[in-house]
Amino acid sequence: DTAVSQTPKYLVTQMGNDKSIKCEQNLGHDTMYWYKQDSKKFLKIMFSYNNKELIINETVPNRFSPKSPDKAHLNLHINSLELGDSAVYFCASRHLITDTQYFGPGTRLTVL
Amino acid sequence: QQQVKQSPQSLIVQKGGISIINCAYENTAFDYFPWYQQFPGKGPALLIAIRPDVSEKKEGRFTISFNKSAKQFSLHIMDSQPGDSATYFCAASMGDYKLSFGAGTTVTVRA
């Protein structure tokens, strides 16, 4: 069973389009995250949700809108995609006691 | 600005050798210091983590050394194996559970 899953694995789209990435965790964790990994492999947090409530928003452009329909799911919707949005996006969830964050396999977004 | 500085950017080690990666931080409120391992095409996975009340933690061939006064911590990979070839990230967080990552170190273990 995959602990944290993301779909799609790859996403290729044109500038100006709107796209969504979905994330699901079956670990029973309350806190979930979105991270962006750029072409130099630098990982940066974008958002965090705790039990469906937004708790961290790292000055991400408002073209990015996370949504958490329930505590097992955290989706990321991106409007008006730009070339600079090309990156790998990782979803993660956090274990309450150990603080360990479990990452999904990533979604490679390419904006042409 | 980057809250955790990591070095070196890359290193090459012979099989059986020791790999050492160093990280430094400024924020004394950090209280959790994990290391993540990432293979190409995969998500990062926790390797080992330490809290500032201990100076060293060992799990198998991997050891974290922590120097609170110097605000530095390091990862030692003993008896490096080709399967250890990956990118390693140090990170730090505090009560907000927001991980601040270092820039990553690509480790190549030559057989």
Retrieve residue A81's tokens.
């995609």
A90: nearest CB among B43, B93, B103? B43
A100: nearest CB among B42, B46, B101? B46
Report CA A41 to chain centroid distance, whole Å. 16
Mean pLDDT of A43-62: 90
A103: nearest CB among B44, B97, B104? B44
Q: Which residue of chain B is at minimal alpha-carbon distance from A58?
A: B98
pLDDT (tens digit, 0 to 9) for every residue of chain B, 111 residues total?
679 999 999 999 999 999 999 999 999 999 999 999 999 999 999 999 999 999 999 999 999 999 999 999 999 999 999 999 999 999 999 877 789 999 999 999 999
Report CA A50 to chain centroid distance, whole Å. 14
d(CA A53, CA A70): 10
A5 touching B (Cβ < 8 Å): no
Set of chain A residues whose Cβ sits within 8 Å of the Cβ of B46: 100-102
Residues 15-74 of A with CB under 8 A from B: 31, 40-45, 48, 55-56, 58
pLDDT of residue A1: 66
CB A90 to CB B104 under 8 A?
no
To which residue do tokens 């989706």 refer? A75
How many Cβ atoms sit within 10 Å of the Cβ of residue A37?
A: 22
pLDDT of residue B107: 98
Q: How confident is the model at residue A2 (pLDDT cuts 50, 70, 90)?
A: confident
Report CA A65 to chain centroid distance, whole Å. 10
**pLDDT (tens digit per residue) in A8-31:** 999 999 999 999 999 999 999 999
pLDDT of residue B93: 93
